[in-house]
Every structure is written in structure tokens, then in C-alpha cells.
Amino acid sequence: MFISSPYLPKNQVALMAIDIRFNGETPGYPDLSPQLAKRGITPLYVEPLDILDEAVSSHPDMQMMPMGGELIAAAPNAPESLFQNLKKAGFKIMAGSKKLARNYPLDIAYNVCRVDKTVIHPFQYTDPCLLEQFEKENLQKIQVNQGYAKCSVAILNEKAVVTEDRGIYRKMKEQGFQVFYLEPNYIRLPGLNTGFLGGSSGLYDPETLLVTGKLTHHPQYEELKSFLKTQKMSILELSDEIITDGGSLIPLLTKD
């Protein structure tokens, strides 16, 4: 079934967009496939867009953004395999007008965070097609400086998130969200200094946050676990390795 509110599945996830480097064939990335298969999740592997920095070249949240239901926005120069795989799964593709390029901010046009009826991004860099859709849906916009907004936010539910970005933390708190601030520099992103929890996670169902590896090494692990408990949520670790940022685990379809 399609997911009406992006990133917020109402049932267990059946299809997820995932960096292809989590398929067990890339050194430095944990193999998520055994645990995904155990839970009935089919990975829709996102292949590299070579024009992007290699560290983020196959990150789903760089190349695409679910818009709700069967509609997905994607960069016009995303790999053809992304368009083919999404269409095969039944999605309608809204090709954006901005081609992605290597250097910031030319790489962030689709890295928008959406939490229910709210979208977060530096909107001067957002693809115009997305902005038009946001206006159609009358979504609330929160302007921030952090261009990698989706990477920087782990979405828990309609009113609660986790972020390592101070600006996003302040702005979302001001808008009434329950926000847990996670100290940065404890999540691996091969090729760059640090990653984010948002880029290392995604919801399996309304009560379970999937993460790519072990969070126990993080000094705020117990605090984070307590915060999730206030949201009636638990963490499900998909590997025994250090948690690794792969551009989000994006839920696309749920089980019937």
C-alpha cells in the first residue's frame, strides 16, 4: 500500500529505498539485507549518481523525495534505474527541474524534510516543482540554514523528531514539535567527517525506528532510548556494526 504521509507508514513497511552500498558488497558499509529479509522488507536499491560527491552519490534522500501516495519527486539526472524501479513498484514520477551537481548548494534541491504537514529546508534552493506541490497541499514551511535537512532529521511521528542540527532543533521547537537534540560526530559516513541519525534510519512501522547499526556506542544512547519511550517507540538495529549514514531508509510501500 502507498504511504499517504511521506516517511510515516501506518503499517509495517514492505518496500524501502536504500543506498545500494548496504547490499553487502561494499567495504565500510554494513550488510542490511539479512535483517531486511527477516522482516519482509524488499530494498529498492539506489545506484550512484556520479556527479555527486562519492560519499553521498547513492543516498536516496539526495536523489528523490516522496510526496505522498503514489507520487515521488526525483532529480531529472538521477540514474535511469531509479525511475525504472519506482515505476515498476507503481509510482508516478514527478521529475524535478533542477539537475543535481556536485557542490553545495547544487546538491540539495530534493533533500527536504517533511513531517506530516510541515516541510523544512532552505527553500531558496528547493526544486521549484516541490515548492509548487507544497503550495498545492498548503504545507507549513520552516526555513532553515541546513541544506541537508532530511539527512539531519530522524522522523519519529507527526510531532516528534531527532536532530543533530541546532538550527533545526530551535525552529522545530518553536513550532511545537517534540525534538531531541543528538550530539553530532558519532555516526559514520565513509568519505566525510560525520553522518546523521536521520540519514541512518527510517520507520518500519509507527512504533519502530530502524537504524543501520549499533547506537549503543553513542554517549546519549540511554537518553535517546528514553525519549523514544515517551513516543511509545523502540529501536531496531539492522546490523552489529557502527551506525552508518546512507541517506535515509525511506519507506515507500507498506504491507496490506
- Residue 37: give its domain's CATH number: 3.75.10.10
Domain assignment of residue 198, yes or no? yes
Residues 63-106: pLDDT tens digits?
Answer: 999 999 999 999 999 999 999 999 999 999 999 999 999 999 99
pLDDT for position 8:
98
Residue 107: pLDDT band (50, 70, 90) is: very high
Domain assignment of residue 21, yes or no? yes
Residue 22 CB partners (closer than 8 Å, separation 6+): 29, 30, 31, 32, 33, 43, 45, 212, 246
Q: pTM of the prediction? A: 0.97
Domain assignment of residue 63, yes or no? yes
Residue 217 has pLDDT above 90, yes or no: no
Question: How many domains are contained in the chain?
Answer: 1
Q: What is the phi/psi pair of residue 193, to 5°?
A: -70, -40
The H or E element spanning position 226 is helix 221-230
Query: By residue range, what is the domain housing residue 223?
Result: 13-254
- Look at residues 100, 78, 85, 103 and name the one whose alpha carbon lies nearest to residue 44: 85
**Using omega within 30 degrees of 0 as the cis cutoff, is the peptide bond preceding 105 cis?**
yes
- Look at residues 17, 20, 1, 115 and name the one whose alpha carbon lies nearest to residue 73: 17
C-alpha cell at 74: 526525483
Residues 169-216: pLDDT tens digits?
Answer: 999 999 999 999 999 999 999 999 999 999 999 999 999 999 999 998
pLDDT for position 3:
98
Contact by Cβ (8 Å): 199, 245: yes
Domain assignment of residue 8, yes or no? no
Q: What is the phi/psi pair of residue 203, to 5°?
A: -80, 135
pLDDT for position 197:
98
Residue 12: pLDDT band (50, 70, 90) is: very high
Domain assignment of residue 232, yes or no? yes
Residue 256 has pLDDT above 90, yes or no: no
Contact by Cβ (8 Å): 200, 243: yes
Task: Please state, rounded to an integer, the average pLDDT across all residues of the chain.
Answer: 97
Of all residues in the chain, the percent with pLDDT exceeding 90 is: 98
Domain assignment of residue 90, yes or no? yes
pLDDT for position 88:
98
pLDDT for position 86:
98
Domain assignment of residue 227, yes or no? yes
For residue 117, the one-letter residue type is K
pLDDT for position 33:
97
Residues 35-63: pLDDT tens digits?
Answer: 999 999 999 999 999 999 999 999 999 99
For residue 155, the one-letter residue type is I
Domain assignment of residue 5, yes or no? no
